[in-house]
Structure 1
């Protein structure tokens, strides 16, 4: 869909580097999401656009284009990234709507769709680096789509180092600053499954981000599995949450 003139609507999300709003195309009336940041602080958003614009998958949120415009009382310039709108919100929102946890068939369906999205990203040489419920969106058809590639890195680019992601979803090798490849996304998927099963983080007793990084990096612990999950579900989690990425 080509975005020409458009009108900004209500804010639907805020992150550390950008704000997400609803928007409407003036010519067609189509609704989409726009993620914006001040132009001088938009390097992460521009990088996300470059990665997303090369991707085409039903399991990854689509990039619809971008522009640079002024808005607000300051009249400053903003970088605007146009994205497919997911009316049901994030997977974390969906968990809340279902009373704080999902049943195992739903967890299995969402996990399968996340894995299909991750497999596609890896086929394109991209690691997500921040898999979690907030970064998975649910479309009007109920299917999950991976979103927010602000932390993503190219597998072949060794110069794209640095700690990326959310501490309580980080894999041990990431928390130690060693590497961040596809195995780290699989660990984060395991933490996301625990989020779907409990409505909370994989490390509920660790509130401080620095403490979380230290525990993930240097303790022998793995997150606790929900007791009500089936044997098959626990076996799958045990395969995701292996401390050795190899």
Structure 2
């Protein structure tokens, strides 16, 4: 696969991974390639394992597989090939509006997120980092956007920790549930809490919680 995928522009980046738009040489088509240094590839390999289990769900981003490459600086990288979301993230769409979204539109997106989340939980996983920026948009024939759940880098099995990075806090601060903060409990109820936060944000166009910035002395 490394010989047929050509990386293009940068789509986004996180603490560990970079995501590039990519093209398939012999067949054409656009893909998103998520890459990390091989020394940090364990989370990406976990993500690939989870997405393979969820391939039958139309509400979860599709994974075509992974491959290793040798980078120009001499480092090796692991790459995950995902379907490309032409519409970007649901977060970008929602927060571009000043007065929130109508109920019918919120219902449209929420229905797909709930179906995707049901598939994740049915397979025995907790996403642990549901947020609007991890909901990706794909065009439909009727001109609307279809949403799919993405970014399973922090996901885990129910009751088990081997699918997570060993962090005390797991997720995004203003989406974390009280029990995940106080007791480090990261189970299915955390995802439901995050879902509620997303619904509020779609209605209002504003973050559910505002995290105060404090200066350490």
Same fold (TM over 0.5): yes
Alpha-carbon distance between aligned partners in 1 of 2:188 and 2:91, rounded to the nearest angstrom = 22
CA-atom RMSD, angstroms?
2.1
2:73 is the alignment partner of 1:68: no
Alpha-carbon distance between aligned partners in 1 of 2:197 and 2:214, rounded to the nearest angstrom = 15
Larger Rg: 1
Alpha-carbon distance between aligned partners in 2 of 1:27 and 1:101, rounded to the nearest angstrom = 43
Alpha-carbon distance between aligned partners in 2 of 1:105 and 1:128, rounded to the nearest angstrom = 26
Q: CA deviation at 1:156?
A: 4.3
Match of 2:158 in 1: 155
Q: What does 1:93-112 align with in structure 2 at a 5 Å threshold?
A: 93-99=92-98, 101-112=100-111
Query: Is the 2:129–2:154 Cα contact (8 Å) retained in structure 1?
Result: yes
User: Structure 2 regions of 5+ residues with no counterpart?
Assistant: none
1:175 pairs, out of 156, 181, 189, with: 181
Query: Is the 2:106–2:203 Cα contact (8 Å) retained in structure 1?
Result: yes
Query: Is the 2:137–2:148 Cα contact (8 Å) retained in structure 1?
Result: yes
1:207 pairs, out of 177, 192, 212, with: 212
2:190 is the alignment partner of 1:184: yes
Query: Is the 1:163–1:177 Cα contact (8 Å) retained in structure 2?
Result: no
2:170 pairs, out of 159, 164, 168, with: 164
Deviations for 1:111-141, whole angstroms, at most 9, x for unmatched residues?
Answer: 1111111111111001111110011111112
Q: Which has the higher contact order (CA 8 A, sep 6+)?
A: 2
Query: Is the 2:2–2:69 Cα contact (8 Å) retained in structure 1?
Result: no
Match of 1:144 in 2: 147
Query: Is the 2:124–2:157 Cα contact (8 Å) retained in structure 1?
Result: yes
Match of 1:29 in 2: 28
Match of 2:11 in 1: 12
Moved more, 16-25 or 38-47: 38-47
How many correspondences in the alignment?
Answer: 207
Q: What does 1:73-84 align with in structure 2 at a 5 Å threshold?
A: 74-84=73-83
Give secondary structure in 2 for the equivalent of 1:201: coil
Match of 2:204 in 1: 198
Q: TM-score scaled to structure 1, two decimals?
A: 0.78
- Compared CA separation, residues 143 and 3, structure 1 to 2 (3 A): farther
Q: CA deviation at 1:181?
A: 1.4
Give secondary structure in 1 for the equivalent of 2:53: coil
Query: Is the 1:111–1:193 Cα contact (8 Å) retained in structure 2?
Result: yes
Q: TM-score scaled to structure 2, two decimals?
A: 0.88
Q: CA deviation at 1:64?
A: 0.6
Moved more, 5-14 or 175-184: 175-184
